[in-house]
Chain A
Amino acid sequence: GENVEQHPSTLSVQEGDSAVIKCTYSDSASNYFPWYKQELGKRPQLIIDIRSNVGEKKDQRIAVTLNKTAKHFSLHITETQPEDSAVYFCAAIESSDGLTFGKGTHLIIQP
């Protein structure tokens, strides 16, 4: 089955700086890669996703890149703000099966 590794587990950045979270996956058949943001005690919310036929996708301050050859994908947040503080999860999926999640990154935005 799929295995997703996510790094770092904790990331602290100064407000206004950029944050990068990286994930690798094992199943070359995976073709959909979402990122979720989870605030304390709440449900994960989908913030951006990318499919295997695309190398990069951007939505305002958030971007995701995918390297299918190396089997890794990354989340980039620019101009970080206090409200970006949360736990971020990457995930991978091949078909109708459930998502395989990374272990999460606790992003801390320092004022």
Chain B
Amino acid sequence: SQTIHQWPATLVQPVGSPLSLECTVEGTSNPNLYWYRQAAGRGLQLLFYSVGIGQISSEVPQNLSASRPQDRQFILSSKKLLLSDSGFYLCAWSVLGSEQYFGPGTRLTVT
């Protein structure tokens, strides 16, 4: 069966520091991968999606970036965090654009 991992689970970082969140998927090949952000008490916003290695589409302009160095690995990064980057970051996967399944999430607090 398929499993999706995210780490770390929680993170507290100062403003201006770099960020690297990792997501990996097991049990499937060539999945579509997604990064979403959920601000406190709010809905989910799509940040990036990827249909293959090295293929990244960005949905909103921001100081975040994403990379997919391997088929089942998706990384979310920032060179300098802002206070507004705080939130719950969720990675998701799907096959052929159908049902999406979410990872456990990373709760990021920027101080």
Chain A positions within 8 Å of B, measured between CB atoms, are 32, 34, 42-46, 49, 89, 93, 95-104
User: How many B residues have CB within 8 A of the partner chain?
Assistant: 24
| B29-45 to A contact mask, C-beta < 8 Å, 1/0 | 00010101000001111
| Contact A99 B101, CB 8 Å, known A43-B90, A44-B90 | no
Q: Is the interface of B mostly helix, strand, loop or mixed?
A: strand
CB atoms of B49 and A97 under 8 A apart: yes
| B99 interface neighbour in A34, A95, A102, A104, Cβ under 8 Å | A34
| B89-111 to A contact mask, C-beta < 8 Å, 1/0 | 01000101111111111000000
| Contact A104 B97, CB 8 Å, known A43-B90, A43-B104 | no
**A100→B34 CA distance, assembly (Å):** 12
- The list of the 8 closest CB pairs from A to B, nearest first, reads A98-B46, A96-B97, A43-B102, A103-B43, A98-B49, A101-B44, A98-B34, A101-B43
Nearest Cβ on chain A to B97's Cβ, whole angstroms:
4
B-chain residues with CB within 8 Å of residue A96 when the two chains form the complex: 32, 49, 51, 94, 96-97
